[in-house]
Structure 1
Amino acid sequence: MMKLSLTKIAATVGGVALALSAGAGLASADPVTDEMVNTTCTYDQANAALHAENPTAAQYFDQSPANQQFMQEFLGSPKDKRVSMINQVRGNQGIEYVIPVFQQMVRACHKY
């Protein structure tokens, strides 16, 4: 089983989502980018959702302060900063593992 750090996961999700919508602009971004950039969830909500919805991913997340810092900064940032953060990590590998985890977290976080 492949083990990925959540920093790489979070960074990859953002990076690939931006790459998928590159040149389209924020207003016409794809649904993955829209969900990530436009979420109103706090870090605490996202963290609770991750732990409740995907305990395996949460275990990796809990073991990495860098992952936690990235997510705190991302969720605490305005939309333009989120887009910038996504742009900075667009070349990371492993997106096929990351998108479902990040989408699940963003879609569920409002319940927590």
Structure 2
Amino acid sequence: MNVIRTRRAGVLLGAGAAAVVALALAPATASASPADLVAPLLESTCTFDQVDAALHDKAPALASFLDQNPGYKDELKAKFALSPAERQAELDQYLKDNPDAANQAASDPRAGGIAAAIQQVADSCHNY
């Protein structure tokens, strides 16, 4: 499976996600907004270590991408040092400053897979 490799993906994942929110895994729902894609992790109170463990268990392709790209992983880790409100504010500002990135993310054919993977990680991260 392919992973979104652009800077915007790193920001989206970092902002919520998860890499990285970066991070892609299945068929799409073209109507999903970038904020919708990463919302479960934007709002999560899990620590980075919990998210990382959940990624390895629930979204191994994404975890592998992050492991192979330590810069993205470091960005994601830094985002989880922020409160959910601060992560949301960063994403909002990024999307405001980069409206084309929002459109590209929403129409990416992997958007549905990203959303599903992020939801699974968010739903299970407190178990780690």
Structure 2 length normalisation: TM-score? 0.61
1:37 is matched with 42
Shift of 1:66: 2.6
Contact residue 58 and residue 117 of structure 2 kept, 8 A: no
Change (3 A) 1:79 1:2: closer
Higher relative contact order (CA 8 A, sep 6+): 1
Alignment of 1:54-73 (within 5 A): 54-73=59-78
- The within-5 A match list for 1:6-25 is 8=9, 11=12, 16-18=33-35
Residue 105 of structure 1 and its aligned partner are, at CA, apart by 1.1
Distance 1:100 1:106, change over 3 A: same
Distance 1:77 1:69, change over 3 A: same
Structure with the largest fraction of helix: 1
Residue of 64, 67, 79 corresponding to 1:74: 79
Query: Root-mean-square deviation (CA), in Å?
Result: 3.0
Structure 2: distance between partners of 1:109 and 1:10: 20
Give ranges in structure 1 of 5+ residues lacking alignment.
21-31
Change (3 A) 1:54 1:2: closer
Report deviation, 1:6: 8.7
Gaps (5+ residues) in structure 2? Answer: 22-32, 96-100
1:49-92 Cα offsets, whole Å, 9 max, x none, are 11112222211111112321221122110233111222214625
Structure 2: how far apart are the matches of 1:106 and 1:9?
Answer: 17
